[in-house]
């Protein structure tokens, strides 16, 4: 089987691991920078020109599309779909998951637990926004933030008001979200492949840091999901249509609350925490579908 991994950097841990796992299972694997692909559209003859030749004979694609290149990266994935190539994450699911507001609306519609969230188009009634999510402390997130960047904990009403008004003045959209105190600066990531949880870890933020992202200095350890957490993670990935997903959840007094569903979850943290070959599970997912 010929597999293309769409990634801007072949040296990234996740990309390298997927290449290793694919080659180990006897496949031909090529890393392709999506920004260097030319999309050629013609009646019944869609094609992708990469560097100095056409990409032909591809059986499966693994998108590792960074948030900053979502638009063009998704267009490349869509072109592969037009060429009848199987993709581990479909283009529409990728777009759906990257739109934080839309993904939360979909999750809410399907009855999944979420921290109470408010989004407005630069509303001047800032006091009501803060009150709507239970008051201070509260979490403020940039709509396009990733890996914990653009996420702020406002500990007082006045601090929250100042931050929201500043973002409004910069014409930068922000989401206000309820702060779940009982989570204790920790969250859970469940890694889902083909409707099966292949690994889970609990991430703890460093002292004085409410964000648990490993990129922000957090630590991770293997975690055994409860039945409710497992069902929540599987349902979240399914309703967003993701074949591969990292579902981030908070533990709360009212059950697991979904923070985010990541369509390009990193492998380094989950593999090191669980000591499992997650990359192999992704390759096996392709094998079952091609």
Q: Is residue 23 part of a domain?
A: yes
DSSP-derived secondary structure letter, 205: P
- Domain-located, residue 155: yes
Could you give the strand order of the β-sheet that contains 117-119, starting from the edge strand earlier in sequence?
117-119, 174-178, 138-142, 151-154
pLDDT at 174: 85
Half-sphere exposure of 131 (CA within 13 A, CB side): 4
Predicted TM-score of the model (pTM): 0.90
In CATH, what number is assigned to the domain containing residue 122? Answer: 3.30.1490.20
H/E stretch holding 176 reads: strand 174-178
**For strand 60-63 and strand 117-119, is the pairing parallel, antiparallel, or unpaired?**
unpaired
Q: Is residue 107 part of a domain?
A: no
Per-residue pLDDT tens, the chain, 290 aa: give them: 999 999 999 999 999 999 999 999 999 999 999 999 999 999 889 999 999 999 999 999 999 999 889 999 999 999 999 999 999 999 999 999 998 889 999 999 999 999 999 998 877 889 999 999 999 999 998 876 555 567 888 999 999 999 998 888 888 888 899 999 998 889 999 999 999 999 999 998 766 555 555 555 578 899 999 999 999 999 999 999 999 999 999 999 999 999 999 999 999 999 999 999 999 999 999 999 99
Q: How many CB atoms lie within 10 A of CB 82?
A: 16
Residues 189 and 272 placed together within one structural domain of the fold: yes
Which of 128, 145, 179 is the C-terminal boundary of a domain?
179
Same domain, 80 and 172: no
Query: Total structural domains in the chain?
Result: 3
Question: Does 73 lie in the same domain as 29?
Answer: yes
Please indicate, yes or no, if residue 101 is contained in any of the structural domains: no
Name the phi and psi angles at 254, rounded to 5: -110, 20
50 domain residue, yes or no = yes
Q: Are residues 170 and 203 in the same domain?
A: no
pLDDT number for residue 205 = 73
Predicted confidence at residue 100, as pLDDT, reads 86
- Asked if 282 contacts 198 with a C-beta cutoff of 8 angstroms, the reply is no
CATH number, domain at 228? 3.30.470.20
3-state helix, strand and coil shares in percent for the chain, rounded to the nearest 5: 35, 30, 35
Domain residues for the domain of 246 are: 182-289
Last residue of a domain, one of 96, 131, 162: 96
């Amino acid at each position: 089987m010929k597999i293309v991994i769409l990634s801007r950097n072949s040296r990234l841990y996740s990309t390298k691991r997927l290449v290793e796992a694919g080659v180990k299972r006897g496949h031909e694997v090529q890393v392709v920078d999506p920004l260097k692909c030319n999309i050629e559209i013609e009646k019944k003859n869609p094609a992708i020109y990469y560097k100095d030749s056409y990409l032909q004979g591809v059986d499966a694609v693994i998108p590792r599309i960074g948030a900053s290149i979502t638009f063009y990266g998704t267009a490349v994935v869509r072109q592969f779909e037009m060429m009848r190539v199987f993709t581990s994450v479909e283009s529409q699911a990728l777009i759906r998951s990257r739109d934080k507001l839309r993904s939360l609306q979909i999750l809410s519609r399907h009855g999944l637990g979420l921290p109470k969230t408010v989004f407005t188009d630069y509303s001047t009634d800032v006091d009501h926004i803060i009150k709507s999510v239970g008051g201070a402390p509260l979490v403020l997130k940039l709509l396009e933030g990733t890996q914990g960047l653009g996420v702020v904990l406002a500990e007082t009403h006045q601090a929250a008001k100042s931050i929201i008004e500043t973002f409004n003045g910069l014409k930068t959209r922000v989401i206000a979200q309820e702060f779940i105190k009982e989570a204790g600066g920790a969250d859970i990531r469940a890694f889902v492949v083909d409707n099966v949880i292949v690994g889970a870890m609990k991430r703890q933020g460093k002292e004085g840091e409410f964000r648990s992202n490993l990129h922000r200095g957090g630590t991770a350890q293997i975690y055994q999901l409860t039945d409710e957490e497992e069902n929540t993670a599987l349902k979240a990935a399914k309703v967003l249509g993701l074949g591969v997903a990292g579902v981030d959840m908070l533990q709360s007094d009212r059950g697991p609350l979904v923070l985010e569903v990541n369509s390009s979850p990193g492998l380094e943290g989950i593999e090191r925490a669980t000591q499992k070959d997650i990359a192999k599970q992704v390759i096996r997912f392709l094998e079952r579908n091609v």
